[in-house]
Amino acid sequence: MTGQAGIKVLVAVNENNLRNTLARMLKAIGGFAITVAAHGSEAWDKARQQPYDFVVANWHMPEMSGPALLKVLRADSKLADLPVILVASELTKGQVIEAGEAGVNDIILLPLSLAVLKRKIDGLRQAESDPQALEAERHDQLGLQLMEKEAWEDAPKKASSAPPTSTWKSTWTTTPSW
């Protein structure tokens, strides 16, 4: 497939088999330009050195876990909008909530399949270009902020005046043929 080679993906996975499988699947989906990192700290260094269109990170990694990587990316003003997909073999409800609150874009539970990976990437692309998805994200973020403040009565008033929370713009210029 052509047109995807300019899309830069950072794959942060400590397990060789999973890292190689993700790289092969990403190439099969669209020939993405893939950079690999063996753990979260290495991914953090690479993300600061060059721009990426999205990150796929393993939940459990040495030195810096996937959720920790997500949090440092969100805390960096230059990388805060970088889409992140976390991959895990199993998660608790609390872990899913933690990832959501930290700003994860999506989660993939293993075993990994080409169809699921493709669907998650398509979801990132759709969220970028769908005004309704951006509006839903805006309302979701506002709702979380109001819940933290226990400002239940303010929800209807503030929902219509909140600014958008995501401004991610990728370099995707063509629609893949998948």
pLDDT digits (tens, 9 = 90+) for 85-101: 999 999 999 999 999 99
Nearest of 123, 137, 133, 143 to residue 165 by alpha carbon: 137
* Residue 138, token pair as written in the block: 């805006």
Rounded distance, CA 162 to CA 62, Å? 38
Overall pTM surpassing 0.85 (yes/no): no
* Residue 83, token pair as written in the block: 């889409």
CATH architecture of the domain covering 1-178: 3-Layer(aba) Sandwich (3.40)
Rounded distance, CA 169 to CA 83, Å? 10
pLDDT digits (tens, 9 = 90+) for 53-96: 999 999 999 999 999 999 999 999 999 999 999 999 999 999 99
- The residue ranges of every structural domain in the chain are 1-178
